[in-house]
Amino acid sequence: GENVEQHPSTLSVQEGDSAVIKCTYSDSASNYFPWYKQELGKGPQLIIDIRSNVGEKKDQRIAVTLNKTAKHFSLHITETQPEDSAVYFCAAIPFYGSGNTGKLIFGQGTTLQVKP
Amino acid sequence: GAGVSQSPRYKVAKRGQDVALRCDPISGHVSLFWYQQALGQGPEFLTYFQNEAQLDKSGLPSDRFFAERPEGSVSTLKIQRTQQEDSAVYLCASSLEPGLNSPLHFGNGTRLTVT
């Protein structure tokens, strides 16, 4: 089955710097890769996602890149702010052929700390 | 608008007790998911409903876990004879369309502690 590895587990940056989180997946048929931000005591919130038919997607300070050949995808946050501090999770969904049931496989999470 | 609502927010159960966790999805959302999140880990899939049909329950860890969504709206996750290893945050999510054709919206979860 699908396996998602996420690195680093913790990341500390100065305000204004960029942050990059990387994930690798095992199932070459995976076709959907969302990123979630989880603040303490709250559920994960979708911040950006990418499907396998594109290589990059941007939304203001956030971008995601996908390398299908290498089976990895990355989250890039530019001009980081203290409110970006949270746990970030990548995820992938294996493709079941005739359809899928929405079973997301999550990475282990990255705790991002943005120092003022 | 209202998001996904879960209750109770916290639940403490003695080992061996049964618990029931409730999820109110966003109105009109077809898909409903339950995930289990252990401390310091990513969420792990438990089960998926499309309307009232439970299409995937492959993630339920044992036959002590049971989920239902009888009218295609509110869902309940029931855990019988709770064990310490059941301690986790149980997250519910809903989405407008079947499968993952639309974004998942998560609730804030129910933190279950089994003593």
Q: Which chain A residues touch B23 with a CB distance below 8 Å?
A: none
Side-chain half-sphere CA neighbours of B59 within 13 A:
24
Q: What is the pLDDT of residue B100?
A: 77
Q: Residue A94's closest CA among B96, B100, B105?
A: B100
Residue numbers in A near B109 (CB within 8 A): 43
- Calculate what percentage of chain B has a pLDDT beyond 70: 99
| pLDDT per residue as tens digits for the range B86-115 | 999 999 999 998 877 788 999 999 999 999
Residue B40 has which token pair?
A: 């310091």
CA-nearest residue to A32 within chain B is B100
- pLDDT tens, residue by residue, B32-44: 999 999 999 999 9
pLDDT, position A4: 95
Query: Residue A16 and residue B103: Cα distance in Å, rounded?
Result: 29
- Separation of alpha carbons B2 and A97, rounded Å: 34
Q: From the first residue on, what is the mean pLDDT of each consecutive set of 10 residues in chain A (116 residues)?
A: 92 98 92 94 95 90 95 97 97 64 88 97
